[in-house]
Chains A and B, each alone.
Chain A
Amino acid sequence: MNLPKIPIGTWIEAAEDWLKAYGGPVFGGIKTGIGSTVDGLADTFNYLPPLAMIVIFTLLAFAIGRWRIALFTLLGLLLVDNLGYWEHTMETLALVLTAAIISVVLGVPLGIAAARSNRLQALLLPVLDFMQTMPAFVYLLPAVAFFSLGVVPGVIASVIFAIPPTIRLTNLGIRQVPEDLVEAADAFGSTPMQKLVKLQLPIAVPTIMAGVNQTIMLSLSMVVIASMIGAQGVGADVYRAVTQTKTGVGFEAGLAVVILAIILDRLTQHLVKAKKKR
């Protein structure tokens, strides 16, 4: 038994080299786009003094959810500010929102396409499994290779890791639209596009939003990992605390992540419920 090792690693690196050699302008464009989105969002969140932003977030939470969420938002964000992590938390929020936006923009159309074609679904599902189970660190390497250090490879790695739920649940939500409703839409002569926009998407919205919620949570879980390749934010604070074994600092910065996660989670969940009621 002396089979030669299959050189998967070599192949991957060859592909990486090829992409680096020929995909330069594309990656450059992507890098600029993502980089300026994250920076723009971070600058916006940090433009007003923290207290003003906290009031805005609280009002937003009150408009979408109930007063309990609003109260939690108020107290949680005040704590973050008090601990001194406000600016970094806003940077993290910008990173997470950018990853979430990209995931929705790419994931929803992919999910729709998968819902329409059993073949595409069969092809896509194992790829999604792969994306979610491959250790997330592995995405950092090619991301750094293509986009160098900084926030952009962090966003890219987050998107790869976090996009599967949006695709999956969009696919599921559209496939779960009751058959007789689809039949009715067909019987009245809807085009496939009309059927999608007037029937399937509106009915699938709660399911799709559940996917978006999971995507946001997964990209939050990537912020510490992303900080290893130079993404700024509270993730970087946690990472630094870990490397310097400062338990107290690590805990404080981790708490900021948790508060952000709870607010985002409750708000996206309530977005769905509010829509359902109306």
Chain B
Amino acid sequence: MALIEVNALTKVFGHDPKRALGLLEQGWSKERIAKETKLTVGVNRVSFAIEPGEIFVIMGLSGSGKSTLVRLLNRLIEPTAGQVLIKGKDIVKLRAEELRRVRRETISMVFQKFALFPHRSVLANVEYGLEVQGVPRAERREKAQRTLELVGLGGVAGSRPDELSGGMQQRVGLARGLANDPDVLLMDEAFSALDPLIRKDMQDELLELQASMQKTIVFITHDLDEALRIGDRIALMKDGAVVQIGTPEEILTNPANDYVERFVEDVDLSKVLTASHVMVRAETVAMDRGPRVALQMMRERGISNLYVVDKARQLLGVVTAEAAAEAASAGRSLADIVQRELPTVAPDTLLAELFDLVGGAKVPPAVVDERGRLLGIIIRGAVLGALSGQTPPREAGDAG
């Protein structure tokens, strides 16, 4: 079941905002409503569902309503209409006391400008969420310290926020959001105020943390590269409405309309697509076959290498046509001639990082998963093809 389910969520700013709801139903545009009623449609009937453990990115340019949308999820801004179901409970209907409990225990938030409390130490900032819950001092100190260590800031617990760099401050913000162990983390342009290199570090760190924490993260950004890097799924917003929801590849390869297409046309694909997108099926042979069998297979398929795997498809090495021919005449076995050293990459390696490897290797690099099983290989043509915008070949997936 989805952890967060948002149904027709709408926010209209202005006097007597309910007036706009009927007009939106009739298909009036945001501009027309603004012109004729002086109401501003912030978020227009947005619906989506977020699964537990997912990083859901809400992306849009400034003024698209993304920051308003994220504040509707924890009701920092009161919705005009619609539902926000978190664990099946409608946040919109909660009374003040119940809402505070949800904010304390279920949803926390990381802010664009960090919003650290300047009069409190780093540790006391991280403690804040636990403190308002009434957690005893010793316990919350310890939890806060552990969370600080998790983000690599165990040593600055006693500092003031303004003594830290921007990147460190946002780590504190992240630690403050994580300290009360929420199910949902709302991140409002959390990395946008950081300079590009630090931002990339923080993205990596978030992904690393996420791998062990499995939080459900709603991440707001205006930066497409960031969205593509960290999002499991992306919702693209325009004028308060969601234009398209999909995985990063779906958005890139199959834009729902001109707006999305314009948005994504400048993307550097080499920093988005990964080895798993461009790998092709590897021709394999078992170790107990003779060199003649290997030669025969290569001849049939018109290739010059065969990848040797065991029964569990664990990659053992590669045999080249020359070695197989030599072995066949000398009467040796495959085990004698298999070349065990060969370049391998993980399936989530970015194409940008593959260029050198593919260019310099004598045999196509193999893509292996974390258990050493062969998933596919990277050939130069497929990499270039993917970068030139052709749909990535998909045979590798079929062969799995």
Complex contacts, B186 vs chain A, CB 8 Å: 187
A189 touches which of B100, B111, B113 (Cβ 8 Å): B100
What is the minimal beta-carbon distance from B120 to any residue of chain A, in angstroms? 8
Would you call A180 an interface residue if the criterion is a C-beta within 8 Å of the partner chain's C-beta atoms?
yes
Return the CB mask of B167-180 against A: 1 if under 8 Å, else 0: 00000000010001
- Quick check: is A203 within 8 A (CB to CB) of the other chain? yes
A183 touches B76 (CB 8 A): yes
B100 touches A183 (CB 8 A): no
The answer, among A181, A191, A198, A203, for a CB contact under 8 Å with B115, is A181
Closest to B173 in A: A184
Within the complex, the shortest CB–CB distance from B100 to chain A, in Å, comes to 4
Q: Mark A182-209, 1 if CB is under 8 A from B, else 0.
A: 0111111111001000110011000000
Q: Closest approach, in angstroms, between the C-beta of B309 and any C-beta of chain A?
A: 51
CB–CB B119/A189 < 8 A: no
Q: Assess the A187–B132 pair: CB atoms within 8 A.
A: no
In the complex, are the beta carbons of B111 and A184 less than 8 A apart?
yes
B373 adjacent to chain A (CB < 8 Å) = no
Over the window 63-89 of chain B, the binary record of Cβ atoms lying under 8 Å from chain A Cβ atoms (1 yes, 0 no) is 000000000001010000000000000
Near A by CB (< 8 A), chain B positions 265-302 give none
B 120-132 binary contact with A (CB < 8 Å = 1; else 0): 0000000011011
**Contact yes or no, A181 B117, CB < 8 A:** yes
Known: A186-B103, A189-B129, A190-B132. A180 touches B111 (CB 8 A): yes
Which chain B residues (93-121) contact chain A, with CB distance < 8 Å?
Answer: 99-105, 107-109, 111-113, 115-119
Q: How many A-B residue pairs have CB under 8 A?
A: 59
Known contacts A180-B115, A203-B118, A203-B119: A187-B128 contact under CB 8 Å? no
Tell me the minimal C-beta distance from B69 to chain A in angstroms: 15
Instruction: Tell me, yes or no, whether B133 is within 8 Å of chain A by CB.
Output: yes
Chain B residue at minimal CB-CB distance from A190: B132
CB distance from B66 to the nearest CB of A (A): 16
The answer on a CB contact under 8 Å between B119 and A202 is yes
Smallest distance from the beta carbon of A197 to chain B beta carbons, Å?
11
A187–B117 CB distance below 8 A: no
B132 pairs with A191, CB closer than 8 A: yes
How many A residues face the partner with a CB closer than 8 A?
17
Task: Give the docked Cα–Cα distance between A190 and B76 (Å).
Answer: 12
CB-CB contacts of A91-127 with B at 8 A, as 1s and 0s?
0000000000000000000000000000000000000
Give bound CA distance, A189 to B101, whole Å.
7
Contact B133 A189 (CB under 8 A): yes
In the assembled complex, the Cα of A199 lies from the Cα of B118 at a distance in Å of 9
Q: Are B119 and A187 in contact (CB under 8 A)?
A: no
On chain A, the residues within 8 Å of B102 by CB distance are: 189
* Residues of chain A lying within 8 A (CB to CB) of residue B112: 180
Q: Name, among B101, B112, B118, B132, the residue most crowded by chain A CB atoms within 10 Å (CB to CB).
A: B132
A188 touches B129 (CB 8 A): yes
Q: Assess whether B115 is in contact with A183, with CB atoms less than 8 Å apart.
A: yes
Assess the B128–A198 pair: CB atoms within 8 A.
yes
Given contacts A180-B111, A180-B113, A184-B109, whether A191 and B100 have CB atoms under 8 Å apart is yes
Whether A188 contacts B113 by the Cβ 8 Å rule is no
- CB atoms of A183 and B111 under 8 A apart: yes
Question: Which of B107, B111, B115 has most chain A Cβ within 10 Å?
Answer: B115
Known: A183-B76, A184-B109, A198-B131. A189 touches B103 (CB 8 A): yes
Binary interface encoding of chain A residues 208-250 relative to chain B, with 1 for a CB under 8 A from any of its CBs, else 0: 0000000000000000000000000000000000000000000
Q: Which of A181, A188, A190 has the most CB of B within 10 A?
A: A188
**B117 near A188: Cβ-Cβ < 8 Å:** no
Mark interface residues in A158-195 (1 if CB within 8 Å of B CB, else 0): 00000000000000000000101101111111110010
Q: Which residues of B have CB within 8 Å of A194?
A: 132
CA distance A198 to B134 in the complex (A): 13
Residue of chain B at shortest CB distance from A183: B76
CA distance A202 to B118 in the complex (A): 10
Closest to A178 in B: B115
Minimum Cβ distance to chain B for residue A102 (Å): 28
Q: A276 to chain B: closest CB distance in Å? A: 9
Residue of B nearest to A199 (CB): B117
Can you name 30 A-B pairs with beta carbons within 8 Å?
Answer: A178-B115, A181-B115, A181-B118, A183-B76, A184-B117, A185-B117, A186-B76, A187-B74, A187-B107, A187-B108, A187-B186, A188-B104, A188-B109, A188-B128, A188-B176, A188-B180, A189-B99, A189-B100, A189-B102, A189-B103, A189-B129, A189-B132, A190-B132, A191-B132, A194-B132, A198-B117, A198-B128, A198-B132, A199-B117, A203-B118
Q: Which chain A residues have a beta carbon within 8 Å of chain B's beta carbons? A: 178, 180-181, 183-191, 194, 198-199, 202-203
Q: Give 12 new A-B contacts, CB below 8 A, not counting A189-B103, A198-B131, A198-B132.
A: A180-B112, A181-B115, A181-B118, A183-B115, A184-B109, A185-B128, A187-B108, A187-B186, A189-B105, A189-B132, A198-B117, A203-B119
Q: Which 3 A-B pairs have the closest CB atoms?
A: A189-B104, A189-B103, A184-B115
